[in-house]
């Protein structure tokens, strides 16, 4: 039985896990580095231990975290998302120390964490994948060029161990291939300590659809429907919707069955996400599997009524899944907007600082997952996510209306945030209709900025003109 859980993370997700622990009457343990001493997860946990002075290094020190877990008597470790959540070596350290890792087995994380291995396993088990190559690091440049010609431009270079939008380069013409390949390798080595890179056909303007998986330790696997994550900027998700407002029930069932088959093919356990690209002809391709809880998990909770964090803990505790696929009947639509500390007018650069006012949105069918409070100082060292605003409606239209209302009520001062930009998204016709793809932000950027009402921005017209010119240059370079 699990009696105490150490949360190997920080911020919003750490607070979310601590709340789940309280719901289950399980003791919670927070860890923090020196700059995070005032973070909310440290304040609300039953126990808290410092893991170093460096802002980042402590959260990546798996050995130290396992030592603290053993010393404080924690039975299990929840990794959250990011940091060590998909590090198979950390999961293995937990297993070897006799500590329950709340997630899949380390070998599954290893296999699915390497995109080349994952592609091989999916292809072997009849799961559709995007045409592509194995790792290219051993290939000469001329051979890589031939591979690109065989696949057909545009192509996308990806880090084998990548994720979170890192280690990705889209190449539209041969003369950019060498530079992009080297840049992709450098970024992959820097972020993932693995410079393996492979190539795929770049699916132009797809929809990004992901299925939530729930699996116990005894072979029972179901999906909890899909999320549409197409509203993104530079491969980083901004708004997510559950279920997808633009696919048919028949297609939903087909992709759902495929997602479960993918999970069964690798012996998956606990909570995970199978991600697909969906093209204009409703052909879908396996993209990757995230072997952890996702940032956007709350919208699945809202439409299914299933608490995914408590389910993670219960499955890790050895419970048999008491749900069948026929039990999953989504109700209504839920939308999540990621509110970040970024200056939209300066190419979304981070905007850390002290929060002098904080009034999160309230009201019917509105939820906020956050680690913020008044007078908290947002540090400059971490991801810029401040809060997740989640709304629910009986229809997609009512959910969008509620999102707009809630965003307008949301107050975070005295730092720059993306709230005004998110409000602008709710005003775009295509978003309101539910018909969009991953090119939405880039396609509508000028219109979005014109609709962004930001009292902090004085030279709005000049900035919009400069951004429009830059976007036009990018389009011209792709066409040349």
DSSP string for residues in 182-225: HHHHHHHHHHHS---EEEEE--SS-EEEEEEEEE-TTS-EEEEE
- The total of other beta-carbon atoms located within 10 Å of residue 274's CB is 28
310 within 8 A of 359, measured Cβ to Cβ: no
| Average pLDDT per consecutive 10 residues, the chain (480 residues; last block may be shorter) | 97 98 98 97 98 96 98 98 96 98 98 92 96 92 94 94 82 94 92 90 95 98 98 95 97 98 98 97 95 98 98 98 97 98 93 97 97 97 97 98 98 95 97 96 93 77 74 64
Stated as kind and residue range, the H or E segment containing 161 is none
Check residue 243 and give its pLDDT. Answer: 98
Instruction: Please report, for residues 20, 391, 399, the alpha-carbon distance to residue 302 in angstroms, rounded to integers and kept in the order given.
Output: 15, 8, 12
Check residue 177 and give its pLDDT. Answer: 96
Q: Which residues, 6 or more positions from 258, have their beta carbon under 8 angstroms from its beta carbon?
A: 127, 128, 274, 276, 284, 286
Active-site hit among 16, 292, 311, 367: 292
Q: Whole-angstrom Cα distance, residue 82 to residue 292?
A: 9
Question: Any alpha helices (H) in 28-155, and if so which ranges?
Answer: 40-44, 62-72, 88-96, 106-113, 115-124, 141-151
418 within 8 A of 340, measured Cβ to Cβ: yes
Check residue 477 and give its pLDDT. Answer: 65
Q: Is 139 left (phi over 0), alpha (psi -120 to 50) or beta?
A: beta
Question: Hey, where are the domains in the chain?
Answer: 4-102, 132-201, 212-326, 332-479
Tokens of 455: 């009292």
Count CA atoms closer than 13 A to 93's CA, side-chain side.
Answer: 19
Q: Which residues, 6 or more positions from 287, have their beta carbon under 8 angstroms from its beta carbon?
A: 130, 208, 275, 276, 277
CATH T-level assignment (fold) for domain 132-201: Dna Ligase; domain 1 (3.30.1490)
Stated as kind and residue range, the H or E segment containing 397 is helix 396-409
Domain covering 4-102 assigned CATH 3.40.50.20 in the classification: yes
Q: How far apart are the first and last CA of the chain?
A: 62
Annotated catalytic, 432? no
Tokens of 120: 């091989």
Q: Whole-angstrom Cα distance, residue 41 to residue 36?
A: 9
Q: Whole-angstrom Cα distance, residue 63 to residue 66?
A: 5
Provide the 3-class DSSP secondary structure of residue 375: coil
Check residue 14 and give its pLDDT. Answer: 98
Q: Whole-angstrom Cα distance, residue 319 to residue 336?
A: 30
Q: Which residues, 6 or more positions from 372, have their beta carbon under 8 angstroms from its beta carbon?
A: 40, 355, 358, 360, 386, 387, 412
214 within 8 A of 321, measured Cβ to Cβ: yes
Q: Which residues, 6 or more positions from 457, have their beta carbon under 8 angstroms from its beta carbon?
A: 345, 463
Tokens 């396992």 found at? 66
Provide φ and ψ at 390, rounded to 5°.
Answer: -120, 125
Using CB atoms within 10 Å of the CB of residue 179, give its burial: 0 to 12 exposed, 13 to 18 middle, 19+ buried.
Answer: exposed
Provide the 3-class DSSP secondary structure of residue 128: coil
Q: What class does CATH assign to 332-479?
A: alpha beta
Judge if 212-326 and 332-479 fold alike in CATH terms. yes
Tokens of 135: 């790792």
33 within 8 A of 58, measured Cβ to Cβ: yes
Q: In CATH, which superfamily holds the domain spanning 212-326?
A: ATP-grasp fold, B domain (3.30.470.20)
Q: What is the largest CA-CA distance in the chain?
A: 62
385 within 8 A of 340, measured Cβ to Cβ: yes
What are the DSSP E strand ranges found in 204-348?
Answer: 207-215, 221-233, 236-242, 270-278, 284-290, 333-340, 342-343
């Amino acid at each position: 039985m699990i009696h105490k859980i150490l949360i190997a993370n920080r911020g919003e997700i750490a607070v979310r896990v601590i709340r789940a622990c309280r719901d289950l009457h399980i003791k919670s343990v927070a860890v923090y580095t020196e700059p995070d001493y005032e973070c909310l997860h440290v304040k609300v946990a039953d126990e808290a231990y410092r893991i170093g002075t460096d802002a980042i290094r402590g959260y990546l020190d798996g050995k130290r975290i396992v030592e603290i877990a053993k010393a404080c008597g924690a039975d299990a470790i929840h990794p959250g998302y990011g940091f060590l959540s998909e590090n198979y070596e950390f999961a293995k350290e937990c297993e070897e120390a006799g500590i329950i890792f709340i997630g899949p087995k380390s070998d599954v994380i290893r296999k699915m964490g390497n995109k080349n291995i994952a592609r091989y396993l999916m292809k072997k088990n009849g799961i559709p994948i995007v045409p592509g190559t194995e790792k290219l690091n051993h290939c000469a440049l001329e051979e890589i060029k031939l591979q690109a010609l065989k696949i057909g431009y545009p192509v996308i270079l990806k880090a084998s161990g990548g994720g979170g939008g890192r280690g990705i380069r889209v190449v539209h013409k041969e003369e950019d291939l060498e530079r992009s390949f080297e840049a992709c390798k450098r970024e992959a080595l820097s972020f993932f300590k693995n410079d393996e890179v492979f190539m795929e056909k770049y699916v132009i303007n797809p929809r990004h659809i992901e299925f939530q998986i729930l699996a116990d330790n005894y072979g029972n696997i179901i999906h909890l429907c899909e999320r549409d994550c197409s509203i993104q900027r530079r491969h980083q998700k901004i708004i997510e919707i559950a279920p997808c407002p633009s696919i048919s029930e028949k297609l939903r069932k087909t992709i759902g069955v495929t997602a479960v088959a993918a999970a069964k093919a690798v012996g998956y356990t606990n909570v995970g996400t199978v991600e697909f690209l969906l093209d204009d002809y409703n052909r879908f391709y396996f993209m990757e599997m995230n072997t952890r809880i996702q940032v956007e998990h709350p919208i699945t909770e809202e439409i299914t009524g299933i608490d995914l964090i408590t389910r993670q803990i219960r499955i890790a505790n050895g419970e048999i899944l008491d749900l069948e696929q026929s039990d999953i009947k989504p109700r209504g639509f839920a939308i999540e907007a990621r509110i970040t500390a970024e200056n939209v007018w300066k190419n979304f650069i981070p905007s850390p600082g002290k929060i002098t006012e904080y009034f999160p949105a309230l009201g019917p069918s509105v939820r906020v997952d956050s680690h913020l409070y008044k007078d908290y100082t947002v540090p400059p060292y971490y991801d810029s996510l401040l809060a997740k605003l989640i709304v629910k409606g009986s229809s997609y239209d009512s959910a969008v209306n509620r999102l707009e209302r809630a965003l307008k009520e949301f107050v975070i001062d005295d730092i720059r945030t993306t709230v005004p930009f998110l409000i602008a998204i709710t005003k775009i016709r295509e978003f309101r209709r539910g018909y969009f793809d991953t090119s939405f932000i880039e396609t509508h950027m000028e219109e979005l900025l014109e609709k962004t009402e930001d009292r902090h921005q004085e030279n709005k017209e000049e900035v919009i003109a400069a951004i429009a010119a830059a976007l036009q240059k990018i389009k011209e370079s792709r066409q040349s």
